[in-house]
């Protein structure tokens, strides 16, 4: 049976959430909501947009679920705040788990998760509330992903890793087995983490430098 869903947000991630929920879930998106101060358009993706401060009048939680479709802005703090605000209003926070992901952890997911295609989630791992796993990640066995964390694409989380709340893990990062990543850490693109990371740490991979040989010389080599 199709369930009615409203989406918090009216940007790129909200548009993607609308696409995924409409095409690959048991939910039917019926509208969008944003904070009144950001209500500049009354329609998005062909559906109405209402102020969050008045959302109960239009979409009561007795008949609708909510999905918060926001990015990792301010280290996931804004998404966390809206997640908590939705719960306070009495909404069931929906999760999206792609049918094209490999899910072997008995669907141990929290609320308001966004799990895209080609993720491999191994047995005995746990995904907390409000976690985004963009496409193509490996989440190893017995790993634990804390609430309000955002993991980009092609990240390797090895077995037994523990990731704290509100972390951001960049594209192509690798976390060694059994390391612990503290809360609110930023692991940059391509970074390799081989030991525990304390809270609020920032780990940046080495940027590739431009070669001294220009590309037009490569044709003659």
Q: What is the pLDDT of residues 85-105, one digit of tens each?
A: 999 999 999 999 999 999 999
* Residues 120 and 190 occupy one common structural domain: yes
Is the pLDDT at 24 greater than 90? The verdict is: yes
pLDDT of 205 reads: 86
Q: What is the pLDDT of residue 218?
A: 80
**Does 176 map to a domain?**
yes
Q: What is the mean pLDDT of residues 172-185?
A: 98
Residue 212 counted as domain residue? no
Whether pLDDT at 7 is above 80: yes
84: domain CATH number is 3.40.50.20
Domain boundary among 93, 115, 139: 93
In a domain, 221, yes or no: no
The residue-averaged pLDDT of 175-194 equals: 98
- 49 touches 30 (CB < 8 A): no
Task: Go through 135-174 and write b for each residue having 16 or more CB atoms within 10 A of its CB, e for each that does not.
Answer: ebbbbbbbbbbbbbbbbbbbbbbbebbbbbbbbbbbbbbb
Whether residues 72 and 115 share a domain: the answer is: no
In-domain check, residue 216: no
130-153 tens-digit pLDDT: 999 999 999 999 999 999 999 999
Q: Of 93, 110, 135, which closes a domain? A: 93
pLDDT at 216: 84
pTM (2 d.p.): 0.94
Q: Say yes or no: 131 and 178 in one domain.
A: yes
Determine how β-strand 47-51 pairs with β-strand 43-44: antiparallel
Report the range of poorest mean pLDDT among 18-27, 86-95, 200-209.
200-209
Tokens of residue 68, six digits? 């918060």
Please say if the pLDDT value at position 221 is more than 60. Answer: no
Is residue 185's pLDDT more than 90?
Answer: yes
Instruction: Compute the average pLDDT of residues 34-43.
Output: 96
C-beta separation of 116 from 128 below 8 A: no
Range of the domain at 181: 95-202
Q: Are residues 68 and 106 in the same domain?
A: no
Stronger pLDDT, 30 or 221, i.e. the higher one = 30
How remote is the C-alpha of 9 from its chain's centroid? 14
Confidence of residue 220 (pLDDT cuts 50, 70, 90): low
74-85 mean pLDDT: 97
Asked if residue 204 lies in contact with residue 187, where contact means CB atoms within 8 angstroms, the answer is no
Q: Is residue 215 part of a domain?
A: no
> How many domains does the chain contain in total?
2
Q: What is the side-by-side order of every strand in the sheet holding 43-44?
A: 43-44, 47-51, 27-34, 3-8, 65-68, 92-93
Domain limit, last residue, from 93, 115, 137? 93
Which token pair is 79? 């998404």
CATH number of 148's domain = 2.160.10.10
Same domain for 121 and 145?
yes
- Cβ atoms of 121 and 142 closer than 8 Å: no
Answer yes or no: is 207 within a domain.
no
* Selection from 50, 61, 46, 60 nearest residue 9 by Cα: 50
Same domain, 39 and 106: no
* 103 shares its domain with 89: no
Residue pLDDT, tens place only, 61-77: 999 999 999 999 999 99
In a domain, 55, yes or no: yes
């Amino acid at each position: 049976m199709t369930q009615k869903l409203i989406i918090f947000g009216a940007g790129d991630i909200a548009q993607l959430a609308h696409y995924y929920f409409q095409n690959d879930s048991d939910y039917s998106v019926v509208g969008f909501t944003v904070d009144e101060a950001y209500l500049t358009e009354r329609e998005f993706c062909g559906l109405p947009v209402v102020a969050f401060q008045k959302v109960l009048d239009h979409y009561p939680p007795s008949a609708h679920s909510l999905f918060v479709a926001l990015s990792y802005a301010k280290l996931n703090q804004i998404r966390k705040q809206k997640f908590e605000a939705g719960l306070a209003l009495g909404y069931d926070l929906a999760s999206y788990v792609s049918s094209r992901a490999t899910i072997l952890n008995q669907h141990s997911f929290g609320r308001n998760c966004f799990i895209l295609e080609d993720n491999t989630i191994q047995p005995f791992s746990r995904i907390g509330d409000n976690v985004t796993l963009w496409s193509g990640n490996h989440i190893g066995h017995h790993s634990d992903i804390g609430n309000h964390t955002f993991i980009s694409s092609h990240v390797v989380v090895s077995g037994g890793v523990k990731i704290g709340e509100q972390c951001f893990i960049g594209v192509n990062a690798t976390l060694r087995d059994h390391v612990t990543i503290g809360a609110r850490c930023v692991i940059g693109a391509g970074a390799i983490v081989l030991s525990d990371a304390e809270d609020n740490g920032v780990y940046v991979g080495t940027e590739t430098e431009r070669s001294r040989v220009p590309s037009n010389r490569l044709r003659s080599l």
